[in-house]
Structure 1
Amino acid sequence: MTKTASTLERAAMGQDESALAPLGEGVYLHGDVIEPYRALVKAAQAQGFELSIASGYRSFARQLAIFNAKARGERAVLNDAGDTVAMDTLSDLDKLWAILRFSALPGTSRHHWGTDMDVFDRAAMPAEYQLQLTPAECCRGGVFAKLHEWLDDYLPGSLFFRPYRVDAGAVAPERWHLSYAPTALEFSKQLSPERLARVLAAADIELKNVVLENIPTIYQRYVCV
């Protein structure tokens, strides 16, 4: 990565797309990740899997739209059991924690970097199957269980890893979320509570007051993982 500091800072927040490259089907990844990802796909293919990306790069604007829709009640917020949270019964602070369990705050999503991706096994999907990206799909008996069992063995010897492998009490585990470590590490160095607060203060974000009041906690619990 040879970008200037200011470009890296903006890219870390999902506000600069100059380092992205198209992968096909509307999916973009950081240019440094394209070939390693293709090698991962080839290794999976040799085992009978059709490893595919459901979500790659996601901009700040897109993450903001998702967050705002959930905060306004226009998009469902789910709990760990997969049930819809009754957001209208919660305080603004509890609304924030409920959203952040499964959706990153704009400016904090690893998808901003183009280094992270949500994957699935296209070959394992029955006809008309609707992809959900839920724990049930990835666990024993789930439609993508075999892919993830293979990844359990393959990832430790590769440069990809699962950043949300375990439940630390904040971000929910996501076995389907993979990250390319070398490039992701460079982006993670660009983040800070102060930079995040500055970007969000200038954004048209719902729950802005409670978000800004809790930046240190958000950063510690949901970013430094």
Structure 2
Amino acid sequence: MRIFLILLLFLQSTTYTHDELMGKIDPATHPDFIEISKEHASREGMFLRTEAYEAFCEMYTAASEAGHHLQIISATRSFAHQKRIWDGKWERTKYMGWPDGEKAVDIMLYSSMPGTSRHHWGTDMDLNALENSYFESGKGLALYTWLQQHADEYGYRQVYTSKENGRTGYEEEKWHWSYMPLATPMLEQYLREITYDDLNGFQGAGTSEELEVITKFVRGIE
């Protein structure tokens, strides 16, 4: 009976497609995604996985009752969207003459290579502001303190925390929150199935393996 129950749980677990893990989907047409209400977003046309959004809505209500305002300013990003961000930064004048590896490392302080971003999964969001300084004083600090105390009650966690304890990868992002009940199994599957050969189609892709992007950046969370 015990073996049967374990097998049943295994069969019920969700398996994500290669394209879902890599962001090569359209969230506007994917059945597991829903558009974020204007009430909760800085602009129209953003999407999350339905389960992640429903949990956010509960967190939004609780935060509002505590006197805080949550606003999603970025959510799901496709591979193509991330490629536009990445290639745009790659072409910046400041990087003229830089070796590809150094250029990629500098960009990856805060931006992901296409195919490696948690934003591909529909589980992650950026909240309120894209500067850590916003969350270090005034209403931003009050909101951040509330999130630290309560976000996990709704399944959310800040995954890019301070690197003082040895976390690798991206710099701290106090605005980036991940819905862990879905993001955790997606990360586990990503690490099992995605290889450096899959990371292609954008400028500097050839640096991904030498920089250990999967090990140090995709895996580099709190």
Would you say 1:22 and 2:35 are equivalent positions? yes
After superposition, where does 1:117-196 map in structure 2 within 5 Å? 117-120=125-128, 133-141=130-138, 144-167=140-163, 168-192=167-191, 195-196=194-195
CA distance in 1, matches of 2:90, 2:192: 22
Cα deviation, residue 195, structure 1: 2.4
CA distance in 2, matches of 1:89, 1:47: 51
Matched with 1:36 is 55
Q: Is the 8 A contact 1:8 1:190 kept in 2?
A: no
TM score, norm. by length of structure 2: 0.80
Structure-2 change in CA distance of 1:38 and 1:105 (3 Å): same
Would you say 1:110 and 2:118 are equivalent positions? yes
Q: Which secondary structure does the structure 1 equivalent of 2:190 belong to?
A: coil
What letter corresponds to residue 55 of structure 2 in structure 1? Answer: P
Q: Which secondary structure does the structure 2 equivalent of 1:174 belong to?
A: coil
Q: Structure 2, unaligned stretches of length 5 or more?
A: 1-11, 38-43
Cα deviation, residue 87, structure 1: 1.7
CA distance in 2, matches of 1:108, 1:51: 26
CA distance in 2, matches of 1:156, 1:220: 25
CA distance in 2, matches of 1:48, 1:23: 21
Cα deviation, residue 35, structure 1: 1.2
- CA RMSD of the aligned region, Å? 2.3
Q: Which aligned segments of 4 or more residues in structure 1 are displaced greater than 6 angstroms?
A: none
CA distance in 1, matches of 2:175, 2:140: 9
Matched with 2:17 is 8
Greater mean deviation of Cα atoms: 58-67 or 160-169: 160-169
CA distance in 1, matches of 2:14, 2:151: 31
Cα deviation, residue 186, structure 1: 2.0
Q: Structure 1, unaligned stretches of length 5 or more?
A: 75-85, 121-131
1:114-172 CA-partner distances (Å, limit 9, x unpaired): 1100012xxxxxxxxxxx5111111134x522211211211244411001022235301
Q: Which secondary structure does the structure 1 equivalent of 2:178 belong to?
A: strand
Q: Which secondary structure does the structure 2 equivalent of 1:161 belong to?
A: strand
TM score, norm. by length of structure 1: 0.79
Q: Is the 8 A contact 1:8 1:187 kept in 2?
A: no
CA distance in 1, matches of 2:21, 2:122: 9
Q: Percent same amino acid at aligned positions? A: 28
Greater mean deviation of Cα atoms: 40-49 or 10-19: 10-19
What letter corresponds to residue 165 of structure 1 in structure 2? Answer: T
What letter corresponds to residue 160 of structure 1 in structure 2? Answer: Y
Q: Is the 8 A contact 2:55 2:154 kept in 1?
A: no
Q: Is the 8 A contact 1:57 1:114 kept in 2?
A: yes
Q: Is the 8 A contact 1:9 1:190 kept in 2?
A: no
What letter corresponds to residue 110 of structure 1 in structure 2? Answer: R
CA distance in 2, matches of 1:36, 1:61: 27
Would you say 1:200 and 2:199 are equivalent positions? yes
Q: Is the 8 A contact 1:170 1:221 kept in 2?
A: yes
Cα deviation, residue 27, structure 1: 1.6
CA distance in 2, matches of 1:111, 1:185: 13
Cα deviation, residue 199, structure 1: 2.7
Structure-2 change in CA distance of 1:189 and 1:8 (3 Å): farther
